[in-house]
Structure 1
Amino acid sequence: MFIEPRKLSTLKWLELVLLFIGLPTVLSVFLSFSIPYYLLHNVALANELSIIVSIAVFALSSYALRNYLRSRNALSPLVGRRSFMTMVSLDDEHPIDGELVKRIEDSLRFVDKDTDEYVKLLAMIGIMNLRNAVAYGDRNLYMKAKGYLSMAEEAAGRVNVGEETKLLMGKLRLKVEEYKKRFNTL
């Protein structure tokens, strides 16, 4: 299963860079220079403070922009054909990092509900929850996986889904049925 991030347009990316990095950096340079200069009348101190503070603000702003783009499953137009791929296999019984599952669940909000990608993400989250349920022996995660399967089946009824999505949902359905006795559900 692959999660392909969407690439932002150059104009949208430039707006985000100016909002997240440009504006805070300009404000920090102005404030960190003018406050020491007008209060202490010391140009050297004002210059040093403005450099240090602006570098710190730039670094924090860049980090905030990167997290914002990651939460929206978006890529900068300057990045080449880089993709965040996640392989999900039902045969592996090792748990999947809860942070990754949470991030993919969060990215579900930004996907159009009437697309194949939405159904695929629902099935993938169901698979991840099922793997964690098996690895940890957690019935709640099993029920969550079962819920994502039913949501994927409901969404698949509204949308024309591809073969990959149908296979993914079929595998999830088989594994949910296979583990039904283990988690004592009817």
Structure 2
Amino acid sequence: MATTTGYLIQPTDDAALRPSFLEAMTEHEAVDGKPDADGLTIADLRAATCLTHYAEGLRDGTALRPGTEPMTQTVWWCVEGTADDREYLGRVSLRHHPATEVLGEPGSQLWITVRPSQRGQGLGRWLLAAACRFAPAQGITTAVVEIAESNEAGRRLIESAGARPIEHRRAERAGRRRYLMPTT
């Protein structure tokens, strides 16, 4: 299994990363049915200032989807290359929220997303390990993770890291399985 040569950065709309980020979102749309951009479409992301505002919102915690309540979040984008020539590989998001009220379980939310063309190379495991190193410093000792029933690799990954499935009817009706993931 390969390991990543990538590194984590705060979300940004720099000229060197923009084309790769948009290509990755197009891959997500083709493979997963939608971009991995919190509800934004490819057309939205290609608009002149959308990616700039999206990246700013992720960095300062003001990015909200319609109908959601504010959550403090920490988002890192995984990239490789130099500042002049970066490639977007994936992201890790920790959303800090007393999830008991919203999700019905204790813990904050953890998302890991790997660009489709980078899957199967160990990047998901690397991102999960990074998230679990950062989470306790953010006060997160248990995270809620949801994975599509069809995502066998994702389920194997988090189960091998100690996540345990929990019953959640709404997630199950949507074809997803919910887990509680220890981060320590």
TM over 0.5, yes or no? no
- Larger helix proportion of the pair: 1
Structure number with greater Rg is 1
Coarse TM-score class (shorter-chain normalised): under 0.3
